Amino acid sequence: MTVPKVRVPFTGRPGRARDARRARRRVSGPLARNVLLAAAAVPAAAAAWIGVTGVLARSELLAAQHDLTALRDSFATSAEHLPSKGVAAGAPAESAQERLARSAAGHAARAHDLTTGPAWYTAAQLPFLGGPLETVRGIAQASDRLAGAVLSPLAGAVPRLEAGARTGGIPRVLTRLESEAPAFARAARVAAEVRDDAHGLPGSTWLPAVDRARTQLSDQLDRLVPQTRDAAVAARVMPSMLGSHGQRRYFLAFQNTAEARGTGGLPGAFAVLRADRGHLSFEHFGNNTELDSTTTHVNLGAEFTAQYGNNQPESAWANSNLSPHFPNAARIWTAAWRNHTGGRLDGAFAIDPGALGLLLRATGPARMPDGTALTADNVVDITQRDAYAKFDNIAQRKAYFVDTARAAAGRLMTAADDPRMIPALLSAVRDVQREGRLQVWSAHADEQRQLASRPFSGVLPDGPGPFAGLVVNNAAGTKLDYYLDRSLVWAPGACTDRGRSVTTTMTLTNRAPVSGLPEYVTQRVDYPSYRTHPGDNRLLLSYYAGKGARLTGATLDGRRVAMIPGVERGHPVYTLDLELPRQSSRTLVLRLNEPEADHAPTILRQALVTPLRVTVKPAGPCGG
């Protein structure tokens, strides 16, 4: 059977299919345009959102910065942030510091919130264009963590400590500090993490303002991180060192930087300091002549003996601190005191007139027995220059130095007993530490392990990496280092199969006047065989290089010169016996091969009357 073909009838108009196709084209045209417009509007809207929120975030970050500046300034005041007398012990009212820190944390958190979300995240991933946005996001996040997890806990601790000082005295302060030690440690850890994150942000983008903000944040964190670490160590060791768990006694040396020694200056006047539950007092004041004939027997290792043994540092008091490694001097001093008196000491401190000046700036002037006001502006000149012109008699001059030390120390003790002075004193101590004018050593091994990690321990670091240290010891017996200027330039050169070549240029200038100085200041107790003039000086100049470094050449004022090699704590040490005439400069240039010199060196800064001027030139990476 054949199936017939059936035509399905078409009931519409013949052109309807064509019209339908045209209609679809008419509909699809506007739809496509709308889709395209919408697609174009998304990045435009995102850009507008980023622009608006960026402006708001900047405003919040500026407000946070304003609060943090006010927070820093408030710590320099005395009584403004103490809780009111009506506040019960253990429940102090929120202090000005806490309010400022809380406000800063709030602003920083809002800035962080404003720079999060899909628009910011996506835009920050764009090649080239996203660099500034990634940096802004990172700055906001870093500011949030810094204000909320670092500064707020620290600001919260300080008022509680001061409240304790008012309600329970210094022992309560130390108890509070001990309880806050974990918070300080956490804050230091977070600060280091934030710094590392900030250093990892794009620093060279197409938007200079963002680059400047990133640099500013990194610089601030580079300063903050060591301070938080110092605070964490202080919270761990200060209570016990100040006698919270039993009375302590310490040797306190006042170093005379007019005659340079490795740790700073000649150990002249000294005191024995007693700490009993936070209360500080002095048991004894003396000068170097009291301990001149005392001999000690301290095993400081073969390197120390090889480097300094010929100068008899354990029996010649004036040579007891030739090494820049402060624990060596501290162990000699405490052993000498024990041999002299039979009394055990728990550690040693060293400060100099520069440190006294910084501390007196916080406390106000001290009064000498003769009525002289000892101030931040005159203490260095009085002790390092004027006293030599004022007294011809050596005994009278040494007694004057002791009186100066006693007057300044007494003023500091009075201030330390006043809780309103604590913030200003802490700020001054931080400045003293930053200049290297305070050195601390504990005879208790657990405390010393904590202290050794911080610069104020005076420890010569023994780790690997590039290192540069210019250390001078006065070899003439003069007091002319008051007039000494020093500069050091560290310049990396070409990469070698041994690491990298490094050129270190050291210039020393003797500004001593040609006349008018007392004989005691200019006298040469080294009795040189060559002719000298009043004001001429002689120094043992030692350069400390990085571990594994090797000297390849040296010139003095452009002429080749031989250096005396040595080693201390693993560092190669190169020493030159240098005659430095008055009103002259001499330049020593060392060329070395350093095994690790891809980054800036650790600088050893010997604290003398005039600070060392340092220039470090950048080093690019070696290898592919």
pLDDT digits (tens, 9 = 90+) for 200-222: 999 899 999 999 999 999 998 99
Task: Give backbone dihedrals phi and psi of 586, rounded to 5 degrees, phi first.
Answer: -135, 145
Q: Are residues 313 and 363 in the same domain?
A: yes
Q: How far is CA 160 from CA 175, 278, 506, in A?
A: 11, 17, 48
> Domain for residue 148, yes or no?
yes
Q: Mean pLDDT, to the nearest integer, of 172-188?
A: 89
> Domain for residue 30, yes or no?
no
Q: Which of 53-67, 297-311, 526-540, 542-556 has the lowest mean pLDDT?
A: 53-67
Q: Mean pLDDT, to the nearest integer, of 239-243?
A: 95
Higher pLDDT, 512 or 48: 512
Q: Which residue, of 424, 451, 478, is where some domain finishes? A: 451
Report the C-alpha gap between 116 and 191 in whole angstroms.
Answer: 21
Instruction: Name the band, by pLDDT with cuts 50, 70 and 90, for residue 505.
Output: very high
> Domain for residue 40, yes or no?
no
**pLDDT at residue 330 in the model:** 98
SS (H, E, C) 480-506: HHHHEEEEEEEEEEEEECCEEEEEEEE
> Domain for residue 28, yes or no?
no
Q: Are residues 208 and 263 in the same domain?
A: no
In the predicted structure, residue 456 carries a pLDDT above the cut 90: yes
pLDDT digits (tens, 9 = 90+) for 367-380: 999 999 999 999 99
Higher pLDDT, 77 or 394: 394
Q: Are residues 474 and 414 in the same domain?
A: no
Q: Are residues 257 and 399 in the same domain?
A: yes
Higher pLDDT, 122 or 41: 122
Tell me if 222 sits within 8 A of 203, measured CB to CB. no
* Token code pair at residue 545: 């290089």
> Domain for residue 585, yes or no?
yes
Output DSSP code: residue 311.
Answer: G
Report the C-alpha gap between 403 and 391 in whole angstroms.
Answer: 14
Q: Are residues 318 and 447 in the same domain?
A: yes
* Token code pair at residue 121: 């995240």
Q: Are residues 148 and 233 in the same domain?
A: yes
Q: Which residue, of 180, 211, 241, is where some domain finishes? A: 241
**pLDDT at residue 432 in the model:** 93
* Residue found by looking up tokens 């408030």 in the block: 74
Q: Are residues 279 and 427 in the same domain?
A: yes
Q: Are residues 334 and 193 in the same domain?
A: no
> Domain for residue 18, yes or no?
no
Range of the domain at 267: 248-451
- Total domains in the chain come to 3
CATH of the domain at 347: 3.40.630
Report the C-alpha gap between 161 and 175 in whole angstroms.
Answer: 9
Q: Are residues 427 and 488 in the same domain?
A: no
Residue 257's identity, in one-letter code, is: T
> Domain for residue 23, yes or no?
no
Q: Which residue, of 416, 451, 486, is where some domain finishes? A: 451
Tell me if 111 sits within 8 A of 143, measured CB to CB. yes
Instruction: Name the band, by pLDDT with cuts 50, 70 and 90, for residue 162.
Output: low
Q: Are residues 232 and 313 in the same domain?
A: no
Q: Which of 65-69, 335-339, 447-451, 530-534 has the lowest mean pLDDT?
A: 65-69
Q: Are residues 476 and 548 in the same domain?
A: yes
In the predicted structure, residue 245 carries a pLDDT above the cut 70: yes
pLDDT digits (tens, 9 = 90+) for 15-60: 555 554 554 445 455 544 544 444 444 477 777 878 888 889 889 8
> Domain for residue 624, yes or no?
no
Residue 38's identity, in one-letter code, is: A
Q: Are residues 568 and 605 in the same domain?
A: yes
Report the C-alpha gap between 54 and 130 in whole angstroms.
Answer: 13
